[in-house]
Amino acid sequence: MYWLATRNGVVCRPLALLLRSPPRKCSSVSPSPMLIGQFRRIHCFKDQKVLRGSRKTTKKLNALNDFLDERAVSNILWWKERMQLCRKPSTVQLVKRLDYSNLLGLDVNLKNGSLKEGTLNSEILQFKSKFPREVLLCRVGDFYEALGIDACVLVEYAGLNPFGGLRSDSIPRAGCPVVNLRQTLDDLTRNGFSVCIVEEVQGPTQARSRKGRFISGHAHPGSPYVFGLVGIDHDLDFPEPMPVVGISRSARGYCINFVLETMKTYSSEDGLTEEALVAKLRTCRYHHLFLHTSLRNNFSGTCRWGEFGEGGLLWGECSGRHFEWFEGNPVSELLSKVRDLYGVDNEVTFRNVTVSSENRPHPLSLGTATQIGAIPTEGIPCLLKVLLPSNCSGLPVLYVRDLLLNPPPYDISSTIQATCRLMSSITCSIPEFTCVSPAKLVKLLELREANHIEFCRIKNVLDEILHMHKNPELVKILKLLMDPTWVATGLKIDFETLVNECECASDRIGEMISLDGEHDQNLSSFPVVPSDFFEDMECSWKGRIKRIHIEEAFAEVEKAAEALSLAVTEDFMPIVSRIKATTAPLGGPKGEILYAREHEAVWFKGKRFAPAVWAGTPGEEQIKQLKPALDSKGRKVGEEWFTTMKVEDALTRYHEAGAKAKTRVLELLRELSSDLQAKINVLVFASMLLVIAKALFAHVSEGRRRKWVFPALGESSWSKNEKPLRGENRMEIVGLSPYWLDVAEGSAVNNTVDMQSLFLLTGPNGGGKSSLLRSICAAALLGVCGFMVPAQSASIPHFDSIMLHMKSYDSPADGKSSFQVEMAEIRSIVSGATKRSLVLVDEICRGTETAKGTCIAGSIVETLDVIGCLGIISTHLHGIFSLPLNTKNTVHKAMGTVYVDGQPKPTWKLMDGICRESLAFETAKKEGIPETIIERAEGLYHSVYRGKIDSKLEEFCSTGFNNFDRSDPQSSSARVKAVDGTGSVKNIEVLQKEVESAITLICQKKLIELDNEKPSELTDIQCVPIHVREQPPPSTVGASCVYVIFRPDRKLYVGQTDDLEGRVRTHRSKEGMQKAIFLYFTVPGKSLACQLETLLINQLPNQGFHLSNVADGKHRNFGTSNISLEGVTV
């Protein structure tokens, strides 16, 4: 039977056969007209009853109230398709009991399936109708329950068991305990489902009345459920937000639109190639995918939409995903879809954050991104892993990845490089750069669910911005980061406005939130009451808001706690004293005051304490007042738990005072969220700025360690029809090394590339052609993004596109051979190349027969030569040099070989000329091909080709790329939880100045002595502090440093290192050292650092300082003698 809950009744009609559509991966928002017509003939009946498994309806029909609209049909079909994808046996059995006659899928003929008005099922269906494509979890007591279709989803994807087992006479029901809600939501969102959560109204209800319920929030992929977070004492992990994606075609090419419901933003990118579009889909974890009907109108006119011919790369990518078609304006209609999906009001506006595609490189294609590891690919060295230190993760990594896949405008890349150059040269310590997800900020403040932990993090973000503003070195970096942050967020904020708003917001948070180090909110403590009781009761609200704002509530709680202590002392302590005074063998009286955690009460627990004869002794009166302890439902807790009226009254008063205080704390936290909503744009901008700063500082540190350099960037003023001046269209890279090899470890071999036109590259197998192309591509991409490059020096023009084509594989899903796939990619490269492009093609036309493949390759070379782009075409098709090619700018290059003991060996060096040696036999033999096969192959080769080979040997070039060590050094440091240090800020500052003065005196004396013996590079000692939540600048990378730690126990620790950042992390990872302060200075060379370290270890105690590592000075050869400091002038 078909049932649909309506406002006044239930719809009834047999429609099971109408919904037997085959499973599809794509859904249409518009069902067939015939199906809609059949749905519209459904009538509504008000009075219906289900008795003993049979349906009885009244004879009198009510007037028709409503029809089932197209949207309801579409949603039911949508759920039916997903139910047909279920594979678990238990889920399959539940699906058989579904009746696709309503959004819940309930069969009213089954037990508990009634949809009559006033039932819980009817109420749940009303909630479901508001968000029809979300799984609905309804709070019922201590469980969150789901019915029908939603129950099947929980069993299939969340691993839950159905309620009542697999009974066939009951509707599908499933659920999870309240404590497991987060895990269940994670399981559902991980599988792409959105969840609507319905909560119960807490508090007493009237007899025989159902609790009120309300929609408390939603959980979407990339957007977790935050209801109640304001009162929780821990942070919530926030994943990367997932957009809704819409794809369409335009006159310029493919267009992709992104809508982020959390941020209320949208962006569009037009003029994309099919490969670039698929690259974006591969790297974007989206929530919903919508395809515009314009995609069906392709050049080939086939029904399987693709850009050329049947199928296509985009078709193959989308055919395995869930998507829906839509039509109309691609942007406005997509926003309308988002409003429907998330229940967003029409009054809410979405902000356009589209960055203009003018004067910027094209996004990377899928092939280019995978072949250099910008998209992690098995067997390909990952570019992201070498750009940043191994301890850098999260938002900074995502920013760098997006920058590589979507290179910034030329002016922004120049700004990024200028910022990195400044970062490389500063000498002051730098902030920790607190990274907060902008989406998390927006959602928590919008829903007023930010807790005190999040406010402390927000204040850290604001304070770090202000710290950079006050520092003369960091303020220059702060100003340079404004434009990259504008591009990343779409928000244009003036520098002075940013600083002023950050200061205002920081002060507002500081006035309200109780920060670290404030100790005016100690927990209540009384000897007679277990300390665990007060800790559990008060930790949920104390330490969040400054006491001055809740002084009245504090006082009430303190009075209630004191009254509770007095009641326990008067009613329980005489009994305890009596029991302790009683000496008896085993089986004597027992009793103590305990905290009943489950019941949040302090009671007396004892047995055999009642006197056999009442004689008026101490404690008897209190024993008479005892009564059995009861739980919240009035049930007796146990035979050994007792309380008194006075204690119960005191407990009730204390709980009421605590609840009042907690309510007030939550009110103030929510008020603070409301206040900061007015500054949400500044907060988002500031948080993103610190993410970018952390990413760039990390890159500079890693680049310096790897001995990379900043390239000189070319002009960006070429127009499409303007011919570049001589020398402008040139890329020169000196000492280029493969990005995956560590130059600092000496494992890389360098090459020099001076490219002013197209290279036609030949070389033997294993000679380094592919590695050279991959390295040039990575260096060019890093340069146009503003990053450091793996070279000794480099000059890189502003390319409008960087295209790399390596090996191709067949695509059975599209019915294409590997050569077809290669030609499709080459077609995209040729059609998109300009004189400002970099084109790199490895072993062109390898997938077809030699003669025709050679001719196709030659024609492609001619085409690129006419375009005038820079690039390299590598090939083993040596016949191409015999073709009458019309080229003017193409240069022949080769990867050289040398003869060692009469055998050719690759040198991995780029040189001028042609290399016709393939080393095919040597490569096959090296990889284990049997000797007999090799010998036969050589015989065949000499019998056929010997006469065609010129006896004169080619001259080959020398030395080049080495075998590749793919290992990536990993940092072994880790962050652990630490304990706050002691001592006031003022005393630490005084101690720091005294230590700095002593260090200067001691070391300056030593340097004067050394300078008399041999002139030294160091003439002065410059001590730099590293305060709490700061870290060393990138300029210390690879430099020898002597450092002093100010320990929490007020002792000093002296050390020296060539890796100051790693040493600071290691020390702060130890217990109690998280807030340790450092003082350091750099010296030229490790030998001098060791001398000064030992000198300080032996001399600082003589100045009255306490050292924790005094013993280290006894094992050194320097500084063991006492040096008089009299007469030393600094």
Per-residue pLDDT reduced to its tens digit, 146-202: 999 999 999 999 999 898 777 778 899 999 999 999 999 999 998 989 999 999 887
Of residues 274 and 952, which shows the higher confidence score? Answer: 274
Q: What is the DSSP string of 33-78?
A: HHHHHHHHT-EEES-EEEETTEEEE-SSPPPP-----HHHHHHHHH
Kindly state the percentage of the chain with pLDDT values over 70: 82
Mean pLDDT of 419-423: 95
pTM of whole model > 0.85? Answer: no
- pLDDT score, position 431: 93
What was the pLDDT predicted at 1019? Answer: 60
Q: How many CB atoms lie within 10 A of CB 734?
A: 15
pLDDT, mean of residues 491-520: 90
Cβ density class 415-443: b for 16+ within 10 Å, e for less: bbbebbebbbebeebbbebbbbbbbbbbb
Chain mean pLDDT for the chain? 81
How many CB atoms neighbour CB 27 within 10 A?
A: 16
Both tokens assigned to 770: 């592919």
The strand order across the sheet containing 2-5 reads 2-5, 10-13, 43-45
Question: Which of helix, strand or coil describes residue 861?
Answer: helix
Lowest mean pLDDT among 201-210, 344-353, 521-530, 690-699: 201-210
Percent of the chain with pLDDT over 90: 42
Asked whether 738 and 753 are in contact (CB, 8 A), the reply is: no
Instruction: Kindly tell me if the per-residue pLDDT of 645 is higher than 80.
Output: yes
The residue that leads in pLDDT, 1117 or 97, is: 97
Q: DSSP code of 625? A: H
Evaluate whether 195 touches 175 at the Cβ level (below 8 Å). no
Alpha carbons 998 and 1021: distance in angstroms, whole number? 11
pLDDT in tens, 76-110: 998 999 999 999 999 999 999 999 989 999 998 89
Q: Residue 304 pLDDT more than 60?
A: no
Rounded to whole angstroms, the maximal C-alpha distance in the chain is 129
pLDDT at residue 594, as a whole number: 94
Confidence of residue 971 (pLDDT cuts 50, 70, 90): very low
pLDDT at 203: 66
DSSP bridge pairs for 732 = 754, 795
Banded pLDDT at 1004 (limits 50, 70, 90): confident
Looking from the CA of 967 toward its CB, the CA atoms found within 13 Å total 6
Whether the predicted pLDDT of 889 surpasses 70: yes
Q: How many CB atoms lie within 10 A of CB 1109?
A: 14
For residue 727, pLDDT beyond 90: no
Are the C-beta atoms of 738 and 964 separated by less than 8 Å? yes
At residue 1124, the pLDDT reads 38
Task: Give alpha helix (H) positions in 205-329.
Answer: 274-283, 313-318
Closest CA to 768 of 915, 912, 961: 961
**Whether the predicted pLDDT of 74 surpasses 70:** yes
- Asked whether the predicted pLDDT for residue 424 surpasses 90, the reply is yes
For residue range 805-843, list pLDDT tens digits in order. 887 665 555 556 677 777 878 888 888 889 999 999 988
Per-residue DSSP letter, 1076: -
Beta bridge mates, 754: 732
Q: What distances in angstroms separate CA 893 from CA 317, 538, 754, 847, 890, one per listed residue?
A: 37, 76, 11, 23, 10
What pLDDT shows up at residue 209? 64
Cβ 99 vs Cβ 174: under 8 Å: no
Predicted pLDDT of residue 48: 36
Which secondary-structure segment (H or E) carries 563?
A: helix 551-571
Could you tell me which residues come within 8 angstroms of residue 626 by beta carbon, excluding any fewer than 6 positions away? 575, 604, 642, 643, 644
Q: In the predicted model, is pLDDT for residue 715 greater than 50? A: yes
Radius of gyration from C-alpha coordinates of the chain? 37
Amino acid of residue 282:
R
CB of 316 closer than 8 Å to CB of 278 = no
What pLDDT shows up at residue 1029? 86
The runs of H, that is alpha helices, within 257-376 are 274-283, 313-318, 330-342, 366-371
- Per-residue model confidence (pLDDT) at position 19: 38
What pLDDT does residue 909 have?
Answer: 82
Q: How far apart are CA 467 and CA 458, in angstroms?
A: 14
pLDDT band for position 1128 (50/70/90)?
Answer: very low
CB atoms within 10 A of CB 1028: 16
Report strand pairing: 323-326 vs 601-607.
Answer: unpaired
Rounded CA-CA distance 261/245 in Å is 11
Distance separating alpha carbons of residues 347 and 264, to the nearest angstrom: 12
301-314 average pLDDT score: 52
The whole-angstrom separation of Cα 883 and Cα 271 is 36
Instruction: Give mean pLDDT, residues 689-705.
Output: 95
- 333-342 pLDDT tens trace: 999 999 988 8
Our measurement of the distance from residue 73's CA atom to the centroid of its chain's CA atoms, rounded to an integer in Å, reads: 37
pLDDT grade, residue 1015 (50/70/90)? Answer: low
Give tens-digit pLDDT for 343-390.
888 888 998 988 887 888 988 888 888 889 888 888 888 999 999 998
Return the pLDDT at 31: 44
Per DSSP, 458 falls in state H
Mean pLDDT of 1099-1120: 71
Q: Write out the DSSP string of 470-510.
A: HSTTHHHHHHHTHHHHHHHH-----HHHHHHHHHHHHHHHH
> Angle 925-927-928 (CA atoms, 0-180°, nearest 5)?
70
**What integer is the mean pLDDT of 575-596?**
80
Short-list 443, 468, 373, 502, CA closest to 692: 468
The string of pLDDT tens digits covering residues 98-142 is 999 899 999 988 988 888 888 899 999 999 999 999 999 999 988
Q: What is the pLDDT of residues 701-712, one digit of tens each?
A: 999 999 999 999
Across 244-258, 655-669, 1106-1120, the highest mean pLDDT is recorded for 655-669
Q: Looking at the predicted structure, is the pLDDT value of residue 65 above 50?
A: no
Quote the tokens at residue 1077. Answer: 């302060």
| pLDDT band of 881, cuts 50, 70, 90 | confident
Confidence grade of residue 934 (pLDDT, cut at 50, 70, 90): confident
- Which two three-digit tokens encode residue 3? 């049932």
